[in-house]
Amino acid sequence: MKRFKITIWDGLVFGAVIALAWGRSAQTILLAAIASLLYLLVRSKSTSPPLAAVTGNNEFVVEHDESSTSEVDLDVDIDYRPRKNHFRFHSRFDTVFSDAEFEYKLDETRVFIRLLNESGQDIGVKKHWDARDGVVQESDIRERAKGQMSLIKSFADDKIAALKKAVEWHEILPYHSNGLKYFILSKNLPKDDARRFFRQEIERLKLGSNRYIEEAIKIGFVLDETSRWRLRLPDGVDPPEDVLRKLHESISSFGISHDEFTMAPALITTLEKYVSPT
């Protein structure tokens, strides 16, 4: 239905894997590359997006499983010191840890963020910084990549490019980090304004999804909530390419994006928690 897209959060994971591989044997570097490919495969084929969780007043768990964890602490800096309009993003992939500090700002119900600091470390690899005070530490990243396999150097190039985008102000969308935007709004908007906006979002996601599903069914798709994309074509059904393209391009007319459509059930569940009276 749509192309798989690499996000800033994926960049944090890749950075952690690169940190693990630098300075190690060729076998370790190969294993790190395989681990990165497996991560992408699992994320792209996951049957359903994981539900985010609010674990404390200012804590938000983006995802958590046996091998990886991502969580946010709101209104603190990278060292847990109180800092309004900042948040600490901690991630773990196997034995590799990464910590980052972002600044955020609101424009009515839109949320914008930029990366300020990012560090990483692993067993046997001392802590290093990839961004300090909003400046990408490109010289250090390239120095650590010297003498490594071309694949690791390519990962370094991708990481530097992702970091340079991350340190600039950019909008965080509903599907980023399993609804982190909604969590930030719930902590900053007046209560009545937040509840009104969240209910508007619930309706937007429900109506947009239902209308898109209706159009997809007309050309042979069936609804399958166990599928990552929520829709699938039965065996033997093969609509013409121009019909598929028209359906793909039509989703914006229903007020949602493809990412919002695939994550709508999880996002709606999260939003309903924010408007719940308890």
Residue 254 falls within a domain, yes or no? Answer: yes
pLDDT mean over 136-147: 89
- Do 114 and 136 fall within a single domain? yes
Please answer whether residues 79 and 127 qualify as being in contact, where contact means their C-beta atoms are separated by less than 8 angstroms.
Answer: no
Q: Which domain holds residue 54?
A: 8-185
C-alpha distance from residue 71 to each of 29, 56, 135, 163, 246 (Å)? 27, 11, 23, 19, 38
**Using one digit for the tens of pLDDT, what is the confidence trace for 200-235?**
999 999 999 999 999 999 999 999 998 888 999 998
- Do 100 and 181 fall within a single domain? yes
127 — pLDDT class (breaks 50, 70, 90)? very high
- Do 194 and 146 fall within a single domain? no
- Do 139 and 56 fall within a single domain? yes
pLDDT mean over 189-202: 97
Please answer whether residues 172 and 164 qualify as being in contact, where contact means their C-beta atoms are separated by less than 8 angstroms.
Answer: no
Residue 148 falls within a domain, yes or no? Answer: yes
| Ramachandran angles phi, psi of 239, nearest 5° | -65, 150
Please, what's the largest Cα pairwise distance for the chain? 59
Mark which of 185, 209, 244 sits at the end of a domain: 185
- Do 259 and 165 fall within a single domain? no
Give the pLDDT of residue 53: 55
Residue 2 falls within a domain, yes or no? Answer: no
- Do 70 and 146 fall within a single domain? yes
Give the pLDDT of residue 35: 55
Distance separating alpha carbons of residues 99 and 19, to the nearest angstrom: 13
> Alpha helix (H) ranges present in the chain?
8-21, 26-45, 138-145, 150-166, 180-188, 191-218, 241-250, 258-275
66 — pLDDT class (breaks 50, 70, 90)? confident
- Do 40 and 168 fall within a single domain? yes
- Contact partners, residue 266, CB within 8 Å, separation at least 6: 48, 49, 50, 51, 52, 178, 179
- Do 97 and 111 fall within a single domain? yes
Residue 1 falls within a domain, yes or no? Answer: no
Residue for token pair 């709004």? 185
The conformation of residue 236, written as its DSSP 8-state character, comes to T
pTM for the whole structure? 0.77
- Do 49 and 177 fall within a single domain? yes
Mark which of 161, 185, 209 sits at the end of a domain: 185
- Do 147 and 168 fall within a single domain? yes
- The structure tokens listed for 241 are 């390419």
Mark which of 138, 170, 185 sits at the end of a domain: 185
**Using one digit for the tens of pLDDT, what is the confidence trace for 37-65?**
555 454 444 444 455 555 558 999 998 88
Look at the chain and report how many structural domains it folds into.
2
- Do 179 and 196 fall within a single domain? no
Q: For residue 112, what are the β-bridge partners?
A: 105, 171
236 — pLDDT class (breaks 50, 70, 90)? confident
Instruction: Give the count of beta carbons closer than 10 Å to the beta carbon of residue 242.
Output: 8
Residue 214 falls within a domain, yes or no? Answer: yes
| Least confident piece of the model among 131-135, 136-140, 144-148 | 144-148
Residue 87 has pLDDT above 80, yes or no: yes
Residue for token pair 């990552």? 228
- Do 145 and 18 fall within a single domain? yes
* Alpha-carbon torsion (212, 218, 220, 224), positive or negative: positive
Give the pLDDT of residue 45: 43
Q: Provide, rounded to the nearest whole percent, the portion of the chain with pLDDT above 90.
A: 63
pLDDT mean over 160-172: 97
